[in-house]
Structure 1
């Protein structure tokens, strides 16, 4: 029996759980986006060129992906709270150390370490949500994503304000933020419900289980394809709006902002419907919208229609992409009881891996227009459609 005090603390922890999990995941978007305005100043003060500082972003993504691969199986074996504390503590220490670097080599090394150790905290979040929401995991994902999306929206602005003092202030504030999250996680993050394993499973065997799970293979491919579409948008949209359509920086910020709001709206709609419709059905709804919207995007770019047509199809396209992604990830995780951390690592690594190809693909097919971008988005959606056709066929046969 829990005491009254313990029951109260338990209730409080549940109320804080989703914002807390979102705050943990937001560590990486903040670490990526806050320092972007400071890149020229960092290059000047560290006596290096701009490209070297820009490479710190790729270094961060590499460190994060490798960290997921390392900590994913550990999240299935050890206490989640322990990994969160290790991850956030390490991130905090490195964040406070970065302002004291004196060379680009030290800067890149610490950025890699910052990303690698932070993944220990973020890799446990999907498993925690799955444990709390069960078959409604996609609902929990949507709630967390809605909260977490505030971070990339405000991070560049925060970085610009802190830059009035110094670029070092950006990483100091990151350290303070992560220290606060560390205290909240230590106080309120619940421990996982212990699952008794029949036998010990080795590090590599867990990956073999995930990749060998036939019911999840097509969903993993779908997750990769829809991630390619998302990263194609992130990579190309500054060029599309600023160069092709020649909008102002203010107009670009506004257009980008309404796309983010569309993502949040799609997640909100998903939280309202997924408990009744199920993740597979919501995934199919998003796929239908994505197919229509991406086809409209190709038509708009092929005929070089005015900006309003591109904006009109991008809004439902990005909303549907977010709906496909969150429900696909939920369907993957629901297939694993003891390997949710490993599955999360696989999803994250494949996502960043395929996402890194968006830039080279767009560069290879560059023709000065937005058509290659539109075609890449459309092709990505078609791949998801082909992956999901067997599920649709099986469902119809059963009915």
Structure 2
């Protein structure tokens, strides 16, 4: 049994890593892309927004497809599209074509995000799901550590094009792994009779408080993360003069904090449950956001202060991500694909708004990032309070 869970964790973790790899590996190259395509900083940041937008729309599409056709075939199709679009990004000759191909890359990659959560919900209850997701974060969390380092090395030793060739090769590797080792977890007799019926099953979720409460906590917290993701290369490299090849070390340190707290989460769940531990994560994010805002506005502690606050913010996601997902999906086993797709799409589209909002705020240094992170933390805290109130009212 443990061997089966370990293999499933490795397979799903490898597939889930395509998301952070596609986002994180090319981050050191953002200033280079600005010069390569003679584009503005805001235009280059659109490559992040386009990816998140494609990830959101793609998950809305793949959710009903996985409820109708099973988990494995849609996943293989998505990974194939991801590989083709990654190769296209490497060959792009303009910022417009690059943004479009990033959108296509995200459409393909979105299949993995939907299928992974659905497979875990197919096989485990809420508490077990939270534990398996925490274990998988250990596998997936290596990607944000290695990706910027690898991207910086490829950028310095070769060119930015090789970053996307490597992403294409990794996607093909995942195709082989899924084909050989992932068993179908959604049998034909449990599938929706049509894609339309599966899609119709998603709509009631938007009015279900059991879904809305933990989903709002989840997407607001990740809105803070995506604001950091979009702004960090420019804040670190330009404002604080961090060398491009060292950016990955700082980014990786934050990812290491996320991994550590994710594994701590597995121990905290014993005798407590995912909803309670989720609240601790929301509180940690709130503290980190206040520290970041204070450091950005006053300049106190300089780079160390900003980096330390971001470390705590990213670490808090180790308590929020798996627990919020488990609490959200637990009541919806018959619609796991649709619920997973709506959760993931909401996360990605929130990321679009949060990353774009950083560019809308005209201020120097880390202030725009800090303001957006603080706003997202406040929304996450308020949503958690609503979740607790709803649970007590229904008890």
| Normalised TM-score (structure 1) | 0.82
Return closer, same or farther for 1:379/1:33 CA change in 2, 3 Å cut-off: closer
1:3 is matched with: none
**1:368/1:316 CA distance change after superposition, 3 Å:** same
CA distance in 2, matches of 1:41, 1:288: 37
1:233 aligns with 2:222: no
**Residue range with higher mean Cα deviation, 360-369 or 21-30:** 360-369
Match of 1:49 among 38, 42, 53: 38
Superposed displacement of residue 86, structure 1: 1.5
Q: Secondary structure at the match of 2:363?
A: coil
Distance 1:39 1:228 in 2: 20
Instruction: Give the SS at the match of 2:333.
Output: coil
Aligned equivalents of 1:369, 1:256: Cα separation in 2: 18
Q: How many residues align?
A: 388
Shift of 1:384: 2.1
- Structure 1 residues 12 and 181, CA gap change in structure 2 (3 angstroms): farther
The question of 1:382 aligning with 2:373 is answered: no
Residues 1:315 and 2:308 are matched in the alignment? no
Aligned partner of 1:186 in structure 2 is 179
Partner of 2:149: 157
Equivalence for 2:209? 214
- Deviates further, 19-28 or 160-169: 160-169
Secondary structure at the counterpart of residue 124 of structure 1: helix
Alignment correspondent of 1:273: 268
Instruction: Check if 1:259 corresponds to 2:254.
Output: yes
Counterpart position of 1:148: 140
Once the two structures are TM-superposed, the CA of residue 40 in structure 1 deviates from its matched residue by: 7.4
1:101 Cα deviation from its structure 2 partner: 5.7
How many angstroms apart in 2 are the aligned matches of 1:296 and 1:249? Answer: 25
Calculate the TM-score normalised by the size of structure 2.
0.83
Q: Which 5+ residue runs of structure 2 have no aligned equivalent? A: none
Question: Residues 372-398 of structure 1: CA distance to partner in whole angstroms, max 9, x if unpaired?
Answer: 543433332222222222443466689
Q: Decide which of 112, 118, 130 is 2:109's aligned counterpart.
A: 118
Matches within 5 A, 1:216-365: 216-242=211-237, 252-307=247-302, 308-365=304-361
Q: C-alpha separation between the residues in 2 aligned to 1:287 and 1:134?
A: 23
Distance 2:242 2:151 in 1: 23
Contact in 1 for aligned 2:51/2:106 (Cα 8 Å): yes
Which whole-Å deviations, capped at 9, do the CAs of 1:262-286 have from their partners, x for residues lacking one? Answer: 1111111112222432110111111
Structure with higher Rg: it is: 1
Distance 1:23 1:273, change over 3 A: same
Alignment partner, residue 7 of structure 1: none
> Is the Cα–Cα contact under 8 Å of residues 95 and 175 in structure 1 kept in the other structure?
yes
